[in-house]
Amino acid sequence: MKKITMQDVAERAGVSSKTVSRVINNEPRVSESTRKKIQQVIDELNFQPNKSAQSLAADRSLLLGLLYDNPSSAYIINLQAGVLDACNEFGYGLVIHPCENNSPDLLPKLRNLLASSRMDGLVLTPPMTENRQLLDFLDSNSTPYVLITPLNLEQSCPLVSIDDVMAARQSIQHLIDFGHKRIGLILGARERSGTEMRLLGYQQALEENNIPFDEGLVVQGDFTFESGVTAGLQLLRQPQPPTAIFASNDYMAAGVMKVASQLRISIPYELSVCGFDDTPVARYMTPTLTTVRHPVEQLAQHAGELLIRKLKKHLERSESEELHSELIVRESTGPVAKP
């Protein structure tokens, strides 16, 4: 199984290797007839250009990097799947990079990774999307990147995000539709920009239904199971406890369910619990957890495509023009899995 090179294709098609290169890279200025002929030979020989040679000559690695620091493995898998889709579509490879946002050697490590792997661009997810130091480093390094993150109007760089306000509002509306009036809210980590948006969505839903806002029903969590337990206790031990609780992720919701079980509060008869993420945890719990599906895979795919497009523009216009920051807002699909 000898390796087939562009040279082989060129000879067989009776053209120069440069022209083959043009066809492979979809460059214009090739007559339709030669293009056709060359494409035919490429298919016949099942020719695949050598990535290493391409990278070396064009000084781009054809590699995207994906940075994440998130305990939910289901989330990461979806994330990877989405970015991989985009990569496969455009002939890019993907370098995954689990990291620790708070580690002091995050930047040095990233520097090394960039230097050795020479990734052309990065897809960032929370909490790295809110790490100023990291973003500044990438800017100074002129490494292109795209964020997957809750909408933040202060950012001027390309990002894709779901509408967190809408997602929360829909979920709360869902609970209201089931007749709930006292609805507890467990927020995620305070520093995340998505957190206040969920609160906003919660408040909007209440307002639209003329339900007074009760501060005592809103509790701070940090996305962990344990914080869900603590928050759940705080909510359920009140003299007038909520009849429904919306948690900002499934792990915290699982924590609430644990508390409910300990307090002998029956779900869903005495308490409705709604999570956010649609992880497998939710599906396999007893009773099943109502949860909101987060279209992570599509988001990630968009992010990947956006990044690749950005890289292309980068090349064509040789940095002469500022890129518009693109924004894709997608709605959550509303709660799935009724209790």
Residues at the interface with a copy of itself (CB under 8 A): 1, 46, 48-53, 55-56, 61, 63, 73-74, 76-77, 80-81, 84, 91, 93-96, 98, 112, 115-118, 141, 225, 251, 254-255, 257-258, 261, 280-281, 283-287
Does position 104 interact with DNA (CB under 7 A)? The reply is no
Torsion of CA 267, 271, 277, 278, to 10 degrees: 30
Question: Amino acid letter at 300?
Answer: A
Q: Does 24 bind DNA (CB under 7 A)?
A: yes
Nearest-approach distance from CB 67 to a copy of itself, in angstroms: 13
295 binds DNA (CB under 7 A): no
Question: Which of a copy of itself, DNA, none is residue 220 near (CB under 5 to 8 Å by kind)?
Answer: none
Between 61 and 290, CB nearer to a copy of itself: 61
Q: Are 61 and 118 in contact (CB under 8 A)?
A: yes
Query: Please, which residue, 38 or 159, has the CB nearer to DNA?
Result: 38
The yes or no reply on residue 7 touching DNA (CB under 7 A) is yes
Residue type, 324: H
Does residue 312 belong to the site contacting DNA (CB under 7 A)?
Answer: no
Q: In whole angstroms, what is the distance from residue 275 CA to residue 223 CA?
A: 11
| Distance from the first to the final alpha carbon of the chain | 57
Kindly tell me which residue out of 12, 39, 40, 49 binds DNA, with binding defined by CB under 7 A. Answer: 49
Complete DSSP assignment for 318-334: TT-SPPPPPEEEE----
Under the binding rule (CB under 7 A), the answer on residue 103 touching DNA is no
Contacts of 231 (CB under 8 A, 6+ apart): 186, 219, 220, 221, 247, 252, 255, 256
Stretch that binds DNA, among 45-53, 86-94, 168-176, 272-280 (CB under 7 A): 45-53
* Least distance CB 25 / DNA (angstroms): 5
Alpha carbon 151 to chain centroid, angstroms: 12
Token representation of residue 299:
């988001």
Compare residues 15 and 79 and give the one whose CB is closer to DNA: 15
Using DSSP's 3-state secondary structure scheme, residue 37 falls into: helix
Contacted by 117, from DNA, a copy of itself, none: CB < 5 to 8 Å by type: a copy of itself
CA dist 66 and 68 (Å) reads: 7
Give buried/exposed letters for 292-331 (b at 16+ CB in 10 A, else e).
Answer: bbbbbbbbbbbbbbbbbbbbeebeeeeeeeeeeeeebebe
101 binds, among a copy of itself, DNA, none (CB under 5 to 8 A by kind): none
Q: Is 17 in the site for DNA (CB under 7 A)?
A: yes
Report the nearest approach of DNA to the CB of residue 119 (Å).
Answer: 16
Q: Phi then psi for 276, rounded to 5 degrees?
A: -155, 115
Nearest distance from residue 142's CB to a copy of itself, in Å?
Answer: 9
Q: Quick one: which of 11, 30, 101, 297 contacts DNA (CB under 7 A)?
A: 30
Q: Which DSSP helix (H) or strand (E) runs through 183? A: strand 183-187
Least distance from DNA to the Cβ atom of residue 142, Å: 16
SS3 209: coil
Query: Binding to DNA by residue 28, rule CB under 7 A?
Result: yes
Q: How far is the CB of 115 from a copy of itself (least distance, A)?
A: 4
Residue 38 or 94 with smaller CB distance to a copy of itself: 94
Q: How far, in Å, CA of 337 to CA of 293, rounded?
A: 10
Please report how close the Cβ of residue 316 comes to DNA at its closest, in angstroms.
Answer: 11
Nearer to a copy of itself, 166 or 257 (CB): 257
- Record the tokens describing residue 220, joined without a space: 């701070």
Interacting residue ranges for DNA, rule: CB under 7 A: 3, 5-7, 15-19, 21-22, 24-25, 28-31, 33-35, 47, 49-50, 53-54, 56-59, 315
